[in-house]
Structure 1
Amino acid sequence: MRASAFAYPWDIVGDPDAPARIAGLGVRQVTLASAYHSTRALTPRHPRHRIVTAEHASVLYPPDEERWEGRPLRPYAAGAWAPGDAYGQAAEALAAAGLDVHTWVVLAHNSRLGAEHPGTCVVNAYGDRYPWAPCIAQPAVRAYLLDLAAEAAVRPGARGTEFESCGWYGLAHLHAHDKTAGVGLGEAAQYAMSLCFCPACRDGYAAQGVDPDELSAGVREALEPVWRGSAPADIPVEKLLGAEPTAVTLEFRTRTARTLQEAVVAAVRAAAPEGFQVLLHADPVAYHCGANAGVDPAHVLGLADGVVVPCTGGAQLVPPFARHASETSVVAANFTVVGGMGGSPGTLAADAARAASLGATELRLYHAGLAGDQDLAAVKDALAQLA
């Protein structure tokens, strides 16, 4: 199985040993971040630093000023964590080590955008804004995301791209000093708390003949048993919200995400050379939100070249995509290989074999820069077994 490891430019720039170290794992490709959200990242082997703090979402290359001139929504340049064309420097070094380089682009996840332009945010049924979650129903947000997708994906020398957060983002979010676990929220409550009631979404519900005020009031009422602790965690969405509200919201949100995904892929195809590969990080459950956006497997595999599927903890999400894959489709099983982040690099060979038996065609390894030496040694052993 072809394997690719994720990496950040700051893992590579300033560490001359990094490209050979990654190539020595047995991977053929690196999926290198070109547009990424804020993060605090460990760099356990870098000769100059151990912790990198990316203070806000940014592009990791110089954005095209002509493209963005005069536009209120535009990508932010990186600070000292990735100055200049950090992506380009890292990509050149990785290519010189014999590795294919694909871009890694985060789209609808940007806390600085939400802080500076609060009107762009998802707004829940209680009126709370989620600054980390741009609402993909808003025309201005969509226009920004399409240009960001094309620019950040098609970087010099890149042979493909992988889009994270190409769909709805919702409540779930790794946040600084997070204190939201006082009430356990199952999937249905997560969906309810992720529904957006910004003006664009309210118009969308109204266009379906539903009063958005009544809908938001119904969502709040449906959530009351959750806050009281009397709703089972595994309650289905239809039982929590009711059949009609579930159908209305899911139809609107699924259509909105599908058209965004179609437009993103079209924008990249128009900008990219022939043979440029486009993959989406995806989840086969349509109402799921986040980095792995919920999609219709048949639709997304008829649109993009493939998907990257979260498989840490099990490969049960692979079969829904494998059933709709063509002979050329990529169904990449994504495994966390950082033990301290919940990964299990010691079982990677067995886990990858299981994923392959369920229809996975490639591997993605998260993350070559974050993993410690013991984790990387286990990855190298696993890939040697799979060769």
Structure 2
Amino acid sequence: MKASAFVYPWDVAGDPEAPARIASLGAGQVTLASAYHSTRALTPRHPRHRIVTAEYAAVLYPPGERWAGRGLRPYPAGRWAPGDAYGEAATALTAAGLEVHTWVVLAHNSRLGAEHPDTSVVNAYGDRYPWAPCIAQPATRAYLVDLAAEAAVRPGARGTELESLGWYGLQHLHAHDKTSGVGLGDAGQYLMSLCFCPSCAAGYGEQGLDPARLAAGVRAALEPLWRGAADDGGWPAVEKLLGQDTAAATRAWRDTVARTLQEEAVAAVRAAAPVGFQVLLHADPVTYHCGANAGVDPAHVLGIADGVVVPCTGGTGPLAPFAGRADGGKVLAANFTVVTGMGGSPATLASDAARARAEGATELRLYHAGLASDDDLSAVREALSGR
């Protein structure tokens, strides 16, 4: 079963031993970040540093001329990935015999929200989420589609993985998060992620909803959760809190927005890419879920993309909705965290991979070759050697 390891350019640039070390894992492919959100990352083997602080969401290559004069445009990286850090790393990894695919983070950008606050998701209380661009807004959609095409199709890349190509909401690891005092559950997360910017207000109107009454209804539905009431979980709990028809209307609007953005972004990547270029989406099979693994309709997404990358560290259950539709050469990649300190279990990777294969997975993704300890990497090598 083919495998690919996630890598940052700063794991490779400046470390002449990194390409051979990554190649020795036996994966054969790397998914290399070309556009990425802010982060603080460990580099436990790099000869020049141990911590990299990416201060804001950026492209890790020089942005192109298409952005000239545009208000919304990608930010070039700072000192953590100067110049064409992506290109430098990709060249070194290719020379080590690895197939390179791009890793593109899209609707997750705190700097964009800070400098252009009107682009952000606005919840029912009027709070803005600067990390979450509202994907219903025309200018934001145009920015995301063009970013997808440019960041995905880098020189020498054989394919791409598009992350956060959908709604981002409340759930987000932010600087010194202090948001877990009340357990909102699945339904509460959905209600707190509904956007009420002007574009979404107009969209709710198209679904027959009055946006002001809807916002008041969302606040009323959330009130018992703030007081400690149990969230029954899942979509039935949303229907119970908001009302079945109202809940369905909000979901119809949001599902349409996400689906059409995914269609436009994938089409833009294909238009810019050479023949045979692979396009995958990081995906969650529940359409109303928000986050890096965007909620998708499995049949729809497999109809437009070459496959999906599905989070499986917490269990392989999310594979099932895709498995029955991943025919005709479609990729169903099971993504496992292999960093013990981040909740992964590289020691059980072989058995995890076997279970994923039995449940329909065609490939593996390993998160993350740069962050893992030496012991974690040794366990990965052993697991992959027995495939």
Does the aligned pair in 2 maintain the 1:184–1:233 contact within 8 Å? no
Deviation at 1:240, TM superposition (A): 2.1
Give the aligned partner of residue 251 of structure 1: 252
Give the aligned partner of residue 320 of structure 2: 319
C-alpha distance in structure 2 between counterparts of 1:166 and 1:7, whole Å: 20
Deviation at 1:286, TM superposition (A): 0.7
Give the aligned partner of residue 47 of structure 2: 47
Deviation at 1:336, TM superposition (A): 0.4
Structure 2 unaligned blocks of 5 or more: none
C-alpha distance in structure 2 between counterparts of 1:327 and 1:207, whole Å: 37
Deviation at 1:231, TM superposition (A): 3.1
Deviation at 1:238, TM superposition (A): 1.3
C-alpha distance in structure 2 between counterparts of 1:234 and 1:169, whole Å: 19
SS at match of 2:41: strand
SS at match of 2:90: helix
C-alpha distance in structure 1 between counterparts of 2:176 and 2:232, whole Å: 24
TM-score computed with the length of structure 2 as normaliser: 0.99
Deviation at 1:244, TM superposition (A): 1.5
Does the aligned pair in 1 maintain the 2:38–2:54 contact within 8 Å? yes
C-alpha distance in structure 2 between counterparts of 1:379 and 1:226, whole Å: 42
Per-residue deviation, residues 185-219 of structure 1 (Å, max 9, x unmatched)? 11000000000000000000011121000001000
**What fraction of aligned residue pairs are identical, expressed as a percent?**
77
SS at match of 1:177: coil
Does the aligned pair in 2 maintain the 1:185–1:233 contact within 8 Å? no
Which runs of structure 2 are paired with 1:297-312 in the superposition (5 Å)? 297-312=298-313
C-alpha distance in structure 2 between counterparts of 1:327 and 1:275, whole Å: 15
Which runs of structure 2 are paired with 1:16-165 in the superposition (5 Å)? 16-64=16-64, 66-165=65-164
Q: Please, which moves more after superposition, 226-235 or 119-128?
A: 226-235
Does the aligned pair in 2 maintain the 1:25–1:380 contact within 8 Å? yes
SS at match of 1:163: strand
Instruction: Say yes or no: does 1:341 pair with 2:342.
Output: yes
C-alpha distance in structure 2 between counterparts of 1:149 and 1:315, whole Å: 28
Which runs of structure 2 are paired with 1:224-239 in the superposition (5 Å)? 224-234=223-233, 236-239=237-240
C-alpha distance in structure 1 between counterparts of 2:326 and 2:335, whole Å: 17
C-alpha distance in structure 1 between counterparts of 2:191 and 2:266, whole Å: 28
> Which AA in structure 2 matches 1:304?
A
C-alpha distance in structure 2 between counterparts of 1:62 and 1:331, whole Å: 32
Does the aligned pair in 2 maintain the 1:7–1:367 contact within 8 Å? yes
Deviation at 1:234, TM superposition (A): 2.6
SS at match of 2:289: coil
SS at match of 2:53: strand
Deviation at 1:288, TM superposition (A): 0.3
How many positions carry a matched residue from both structures?
A: 385
> Which AA in structure 2 matches 1:351?
D
Deviation at 1:15, TM superposition (A): 0.4
> Which AA in structure 2 matches 1:39?
T
Task: Give the RMSD, CA atoms, in angstroms.
Answer: 0.7
Deviation at 1:242, TM superposition (A): 1.6
C-alpha distance in structure 1 between counterparts of 2:124 and 2:292, whole Å: 22
C-alpha distance in structure 2 between counterparts of 1:11 and 1:45, whole Å: 9
Deviation at 1:16, TM superposition (A): 0.5
Deviation at 1:172, TM superposition (A): 0.5
Does the aligned pair in 1 maintain the 2:25–2:381 contact within 8 Å? yes
C-alpha distance in structure 1 between counterparts of 2:241 and 2:19, whole Å: 50
Instruction: Say yes or no: does 1:205 pair with 2:204.
Output: yes
> Which AA in structure 1 matches 2:376?
D
Q: Please, which moves more after superposition, 153-162 or 228-237?
A: 228-237
Deviation at 1:233, TM superposition (A): 5.0
Per-residue deviation, residues 40-69 of structure 1 (Å, max 9, x unmatched)? 0000000000000000000000001x2001
Give the aligned partner of residue 217 of structure 1: 216
Q: Please, which moves more after superposition, 376-385 or 105-114?
A: 376-385
C-alpha distance in structure 2 between counterparts of 1:310 and 1:247, whole Å: 26
After the TM superposition, list the runs of 4 or more consecutive aligned residues in structure 1 that deviate by more than 4 angstroms.
none
Instruction: Say yes or no: does 1:385 pair with 2:377.
Output: no
Give the aligned partner of residue 168 of structure 1: 167
Q: Please, which moves more after superposition, 145-154 or 226-235?
A: 226-235
SS at match of 1:328: coil
Does the aligned pair in 1 maintain the 2:293–2:310 contact within 8 Å? yes
Per-residue deviation, residues 87-120 of structure 1 (Å, max 9, x unmatched)? 0000000000000000000000000000000000
TM-score computed with the length of structure 1 as normaliser: 0.99
SS at match of 2:317: coil
C-alpha distance in structure 1 between counterparts of 2:246 and 2:231, whole Å: 19
Does the aligned pair in 1 maintain the 2:167–2:258 contact within 8 Å? yes
